[in-house]
Structure 1
Amino acid sequence: MTGYEISTDPARLDLAKIHYWLSTDAYWALGRSREKQDQAVAGSLNFGVYEPVSGEQVAYARVITDRATFAWLCDVYVDRSVRGNGLGVALVEAVRDELEPCGLRRIMLATEDAQGMYRKVGFEPLTHPERWMTLGLQ
């Protein structure tokens, strides 16, 4: 993670790159339209990770939150060219640290394949998943 910068400045986000990553390579967002992605970004707290020399964006995450009681971490993506360098863990730690002063009751997420990475930051499986419900998911 040496030298990479993490920022919540929305002006720095490469919206075209984020859309490309998610709509073509993220199982949860395949085919998502650019319009829908831009709408999601506009309504979220966004995190970008930037390469130290070029300033090019190499990772992204967004959080849906009221900054008082709850947050949903989603669209966490690290460019394939820089995976394996700890950027995903550092990005999720930055999200956790940014939200810590809010005193949230919980931060949630869903993942098919990255449980180990999220555990490194302190996430755990639901203790009582039977209490949770969803509307509209297949």
Structure 2
Amino acid sequence: MEYELDDDLVRIQLDMIWGWLSTEAYWGRQRTRVDIDTQIAAAWRVVGVYRGDTGEQVGFARAVSDGVNFAYLADVFVIEAHRGQGLGKRILQHMIDDGPGRDFRWTLFTGNAHGLYQQFGFTAPDTTAMVRSAR
């Protein structure tokens, strides 16, 4: 099967993203539909993955950035039926290395997929990083 990656916000299928994040993502279930829609609308950049034959969206990532030297990667996923096709790597390649933020300092929070993110230069934070957890 062929897939297409696109960073056009107009193509993003909000119902699919809400459906997946609200039921499948350990990190997304506490957000409301309004929260998700607001975050996507305010994103610096989004990347969608679409089936080439139907246009159905099967993957997603978004980033928040100052547009100069820092970006935060969030909500990266590929729906289960389409995993194992290298789509996670393609999303990160399109978002980070092939995008306007290729020279930025990127950060993310994840409880899994460390091996995938390490392939794109992510490592454990150094001594200059601090995090204030959500209340």
TM over 0.5: yes
Query: Who is 2:120 aligned against?
Result: 121
Residue 53 of structure 2 aligns with an amino acid whose one-letter code is: V
Instruction: Answer whether contact 2:58 2:82 (CA < 8 A) is retained.
Output: yes
Residue 72 of structure 1 aligns with an amino acid whose one-letter code is: Y
Query: Who is 2:8 aligned against?
Result: 9
Superposition misfits of 4+ residues, deviation over 2 angstroms: 131-138
For residues 39 and 100 of structure 1, what CA distance do their matches in structure 2 show? 22
What is the total number of aligned residue pairs between the two structures?
133
Query: Which runs of 5 or more structure 2 residues have no equivalent in the other structure?
Result: none
For structure 1, which segment, 82-91 or 115-124, has the greater mean C-alpha deviation from structure 2 after superposition?
115-124
Query: Who is 1:46 aligned against?
Result: 46
Q: Which has the higher helix share?
A: 1
Query: Who is 1:110 aligned against?
Result: 109
Residue 133 of structure 1 aligns with an amino acid whose one-letter code is: M
Residue 49 of structure 1 aligns with an amino acid whose one-letter code is: V
For residues 120 and 14 of structure 1, what CA distance do their matches in structure 2 show? 28
TM normalised by structure 2 equals: 0.91
Instruction: Answer whether contact 2:67 2:101 (CA < 8 A) is retained.
Output: no
For residues 119 and 85 of structure 2, what CA distance do their matches in structure 1 show? 14
1:135 lines up with 2:132 in the alignment: yes
Query: Who is 1:72 aligned against?
Result: 72
For residues 51 and 93 of structure 1, what CA distance do their matches in structure 2 show? 18
TM normalised by structure 1 equals: 0.89
Tell me the CA shift for residue 19 of structure 1: 0.6
Residue 68 of structure 1 aligns with an amino acid whose one-letter code is: V
1:10-46: per-residue Cα shift (whole Å, max 9, x none)?
A: 1111001101111110000114211000000011011
Query: Who is 1:36 aligned against?
Result: 35
Tell me the CA shift for residue 9 of structure 1: 0.6
Percent same amino acid among aligned pairs? 36
Tell me the CA shift for residue 136 of structure 1: 4.1
Query: Which runs of 5 or more structure 1 residues have no equivalent in the other structure?
Result: none
Secondary structure of the residue aligned to 2:60 is: strand
